[in-house]
Structure 1
């Protein structure tokens, strides 16, 4: 249900569903991260899921870095909308 509401927000802005956009990919990775985090709270020794979570976190981090360099305004809006922390700059 949350995914559908986000798709409608993106489609309203761009008048089409653009599932390959950076914003949509970050949104889908964030949903996967939240699901895996809740799974790992119950199953602390599921090391395969821990590795998968780290990989997804790295992918999302790379996409957020790209978005912050490309369009800072969209980056800030996405961070606020998804309620995630801002990336550290080096």
Structure 2
């Protein structure tokens, strides 16, 4: 359900803006999207895991707030590029 450090470093390298960027909203959205997809796969097997479902909803809300920040701070173009790269609809 959690992501490995190798996968996290891979996402950081893929979505970084600057050389030493490790915590921008772009990276945070990518990491949260990976965790959300892992939990979604978990729920295909464990349909009645309601406690983890609450955690999933928290992660989705956190990603939504990061995406809103990107939209207001960096503009609609960067927002749409990020959503397309992450494979999120909207």
TM-score under structure 2 normalisation?
A: 0.81
Number of aligned pairs? 84
Aligned positions of 1:33-72 closer than 5 A = 33-72=36-75
- The residue that corresponds to 1:22 in the other structure is 25
Deviation string for 1:5-24 (max 9, x for gaps)?
A: 4332345x42x131210000
Give unmatched runs, 5+ long, in structure 1.
none
TM-score under structure 1 normalisation?
A: 0.81
What is the aligned-residue RMSD (CA, Å)? 1.7
Q: CA deviation at 1:3?
A: 4.2
Give unmatched runs, 5+ long, in structure 2.
1-5
**8 Å Cα contact 1:22/1:67 also seen in 2:** yes
The 3 A distance-change label for structure 1 pair 36 and 10 is closer
Greater relative CO, 1 or 2 (CA 8 Å, sep 6+) = 2
